[in-house]
Structure 1
Amino acid sequence: MKIDFVSREELAALKAELLKEIKDILKEKVNGGISQQWFRSADVRKLLGISAGTLQNFRINGTLPYRKVGGIMFYSRADILDLMQGRDNG
């Protein structure tokens, strides 16, 4: 039976690679994994895991600002991130 050993340099390289991947994942999570600028209601409900009624309440009480264009409601990326991170929009 042959046993292969890992050198310190190989472990250091693995550590650096893992740390980079973890930082990239955390950076994406901090940004909510959101890359586009504007979202429709269905996308926001899916991102936040909320019902249509809850989203309507967010609009009514000003928790989540929106813009209405041609009968379609749009929500900005920044406002969604603020809501997800518990920051006040007002």
Structure 2
Amino acid sequence: METTFQRTKTTGTVPTRDQIVTQGDLLELKEDMLQELKRIIKECVSGQPGKKWLKSAEVKKLLGISHGFLQSLRDSGVLPFTKIGGSIYYDYEDITFMMSTNKSA
């Protein structure tokens, strides 16, 4: 009895002993891992996240600020944001613009 290994990006199915992993599956895994590694390296070297939109937790970590301070930046209009459902997103370019305009000499 032979079963095939089906990999989905959302579930991350792990094969069992009786499943077969093809060379194609391994090549796809390799490409996925290389892309993710390149994104991480780019993020570390440039100091800039690999994505345009950041969630609140990512912004707090990036700037080293508390939830309350992030809330006050939103409330005062200093940091623009987009709210979709229950999640708040910030454009990385808006964050860098805010930091450069508020820089003191």
TM-score (normalised: structure 2): 0.50
Is 1:33–2:33 an aligned residue pair? no
Q: Specify the alignment match of 1:73 in structure 2.
A: 88
Which fold has the larger relative contact order, with Cα–Cα distance below 8 Å and residues 6 or more apart in sequence?
Answer: 1
- Structure 2 counterpart of 1:72, one-letter code: S
Q: By percentage of residues, which structure has more helix?
A: 1
Count of aligned positions:
58
SS in 1 for 2:79: coil
SS in 2 for 1:65: coil
The separation in 1 between residues aligned to 2:95 and 2:85, in whole angstroms, is: 21
Q: Displacement of 1:52 after TM fit?
A: 0.1
Q: Specify the alignment match of 1:51 in structure 2.
A: 66
Unaligned segments of structure 2, at least 5 residues: 1-44
> Percent identity among equivalent residues?
43
The separation in 1 between residues aligned to 2:68 and 2:97, in whole angstroms, is: 20
Q: Displacement of 1:85 after TM fit?
A: 2.0
SS in 2 for 1:73: strand
Unaligned segments of structure 1, at least 5 residues: 1-26
Q: Displacement of 1:83 after TM fit?
A: 1.8
Q: Displacement of 1:75 after TM fit?
A: 0.3
TM-score (normalised: structure 1): 0.58
Q: Displacement of 1:77 after TM fit?
A: 1.1
